[in-house]
Amino acid sequence: MNIGRSYYTERRRLLNKSIIELLEEVSGTDLLFAIFLITALSVLVITQKEKLMKILNKWRNTKNEEESFHALVYELKNSIEKLSIEVKQNQQNRDKELLQYRDDSRKIRDEMYKVMNNQSQSISELKDTVLKIQEINSETKRAEIKEKIERIYRECTHEQKCTEMQFESLKDLIEQYEKHGGDNSFVHTTVQPEMYKWEIIKKL
């Protein structure tokens, strides 16, 4: 305890000694100048208090504006970063939607081609069926027409004579026979050449 008190006393003595030595080195002129300077500064502070307050307030406002500006810049920077992230996410979403759209379009196109192919096949089958029916009808019609041609031919060829009505009917029947695909040699090589050699009888 005595040691601590002795240390404190010694430091105080050295400090007092240093202040005394410092005062001994300062001249009277320097001391008076220092007192004058302190007094002038005090008077200046008192008399120019309003101006000093204005300057201080201006400095404070300027500092606040700078801080507000920096805060605004920081907030703007954060907003831009968030906006960039949102734009990137939106772009990624659009890319995903585009890929999904392309995939859906491809599936729809494939289904359309499939349906069209099936329809084409159905149309082709229907066409073949219609052609077969037409062919059957034509064969039936040709047989009927050929039978009529043969009947008129038998009626006229024996005497090599026919009426105008028989002659015109025979011409019409041969024309219909050809339209239905008839190419029978009997009709074209026998009936058609001979009919123009027959005598045409005009009945009143």
Kindly report, residue by residue over 23-71, the tens digit of the pLDDT: 566 567 776 777 777 887 777 767 877 777 778 788 888 878 878 777 8
Q: What are phi and psi of 155, to 5 degrees?
A: -70, -30
Predicted model pTM: 0.39
Q: Mean pLDDT across the stretch 93-102? A: 83
Q: Residue 166 CB: number of other CB atoms within 10 A?
A: 19
Question: Higher model confidence: residue 96 or residue 28?
Answer: 96
Segment 106-129, tens digit of pLDDT: 888 888 878 787 777 777 777 777
Segment 138-160, tens digit of pLDDT: 778 888 998 998 999 999 998 89
Q: Mean pLDDT across the stretch 90-103? A: 83
Does the pLDDT of residue 99 top 90, yes or no? Answer: no
Which pLDDT value is given to residue 17?
Answer: 53
| 195 close to 162: Cβ distance less than 8 angstroms | yes
Which pLDDT value is given to residue 43?
Answer: 75
160: left (phi over 0), alpha (psi -120 to 50) or beta: left
CA distance 164 to 79: 106
The secondary structure element, H or E, covering residue 200 is: strand 199-201
Segment 166-192, tens digit of pLDDT: 999 999 998 998 888 877 678 888 898
Which pLDDT value is given to residue 10?
Answer: 63
Which pLDDT value is given to residue 204?
Answer: 47
